[in-house]
Amino acid sequence: MPEAESSSTSSPDETFEVARALTNVLHSGDLLVLTGELGVGKTVFAKGIGAGLGVIANIVSPTFTLAREYKTANSGVDFLHIDAYRMNSSALDLPSELETLGIETELERAITLIEWGSGVPELLDVKNAIYVDISLDYAADLDENVKNTDNIGRIINVTGLGERG
Ligand SMILES: Nc1ncnc2c1ncn2[C@@H]1O[C@H](COP(=O)(O)OP(=O)(O)O)[C@@H](O)[C@H]1O
Ligand SMILES: [Mg+2]
C-alpha cells in the first residue's frame, strides 16, 4: 500500500466513489480521521464509506447526535460515524461521551469515521489511524458562473494506510 494517495474529484459522486473504493482495503477496527473545512465533502465521503461497507440505511450527518452506528448488510463489520465538530467548540470529552453512549468498545470492532477528527486518535489512544484530508482545489474551477464552492474541485489526501498494515 502506498504511503499517501491523492485523488482529485469534480463532483460529489466522484468523492463518494473514492470513498467507496477505499473500503476494499479497510478492516474491522480501522479509524478514519476526516479533516477539511465546512462543506468540503466529509459527509459525502462518509456516505461512500457506508455504501462500500453495505450500509442500507441513509447516512445522515450526526452533527447533533455525536455518533451514529449503522449495521451492514453482509460484511459483519458495522459502521460508526462520529462528528466531533461540537467537541472543538465546547469542552466535550469525547472518550467519556463514547462511553456514555456505550460505543467505546465498538471502536475495536467497527469501522469508524470521525468528521473533524483532528487530534482524536491521540484522545482515544489509537495508534494507527487513516487520515483523510479534503480540500478545495481552486485550480479546478469547473464553472466560473457558479459563485459557491460547488464548482470547485476537491483534493482528497489519504495517509496512514501503510502504517496500520
Ligand atoms: N467534488 C465534490 N466532492 C464532495 N462534495 C462536493 C463536491 N463538489 C461539490 N460538493 C458539494 O459540497 C457539499 C459537501 O457537503 P458535506 O459533505 O456535508 O460537507 P462537510 O461534511 O465537509 O461539511 C455538498 O453540498 C456537495 O454536493
Ligand atoms: Mg459533515
Counted domains in the chain: 1
Asked whether residue 103 is assigned to any structural domain, the reply reads: yes
Asked whether residue 35 is assigned to any structural domain, the reply reads: yes
Rounded Cα gap, residues 28 and 76, in angstroms:
9
Asked whether residue 164 is assigned to any structural domain, the reply reads: no
Q: Write the CATH number for 28.
A: 3.40.50.300
pLDDT value of position 102: 84
pLDDT above 80 for 146? no
Task: Express each pLDDT in 13-22 by its tens digit.
Answer: 999 999 999 9
Asked whether residue 165 is assigned to any structural domain, the reply reads: no
Nearest ligand to the CA of 81 is 2
Secondary structure (H, E, C), 39-84: CCCHHHHHHHHHHHHCECCCCCCCCCCCEEEECECCCCCCEEEEEC
Confidence (pTM): 0.92
Which residues have C-beta atoms less than 6 Å from ligand 1?
9-12, 14-15, 36, 38-44, 115, 150, 153-154
Distance 100 CA to ligand 2 centre (A): 23
Task: Express each pLDDT in 108-135 by its tens digit.
Answer: 899 999 999 888 898 888 888 999 999 9
Rounded Cα gap, residues 100 and 94, in angstroms:
10
What domain range includes position 112? 4-159
Q: Give 59 or 141, the one with higher predicted confidence.
A: 59
